[in-house]
Amino acid sequence: MTNNFKTGENGIKLIKHFEGCSLHAYQKSYSKDKITYHDPVTIGYGHTGLINNRPLQIVDKITQDKADNLLKQDLSSKEEFINKLVIHQLNQNQFDAIMCLVYNIGIQAFKDSTLLKLINENNINLLSEHWLGWDKAGGVILDGLYKRRKTELILYTEGKIEF
């Protein structure tokens, strides 16, 4: 049996909470070992793809309606991949938790992860440890990412949201 989920209310709530919404394009930078790293240009709820059929630029601005539409578009493309990659039968809260994770780390990172294997094996004990391990950016543990991973994991294992 394959999964055929759409992102539910809890998934959207988590993504909006942790991503935040910016109607102006921005680019985060961080330094490690005297090297500066730049994240992609982002707008809305973490959208980094095309906007108005062209690459997103730092000068771009959007409306709240456009931000909501971009979120729906981004969720739709990820839903298809998650439904194909995860062969273990999920419930809605588990799908939503995975969506929040994938929305942040990307499809390729999830596809190549031990975490996907553990989800498909329904190995809850090891799954928890590996899920919480996705709390770094540039090799640095970030409190915000740890809180996000913990919240996602609670939704996955207990079916509830705790901010």
Q: Is 162 a catalytic residue?
A: no
Asked if 48 and 87 count as a contact pair (C-beta separation under 8 A), the reply is no
Report the SS3 class of residue 116: helix
How far is it, in rounded angstroms, from Cα 130 to Cα 115? 6
Please give the Cα distance from 73 to 13 (Å, whole number). Answer: 16
User: Given 19, 121, 152, 158, which residue is catalytic?
Assistant: 19
- Which residue is it, tokens 């930078």? 29
Other C-beta atoms lying within 10 Å of the C-beta of residue 109? 14
List residues with catalytic annotation: 19
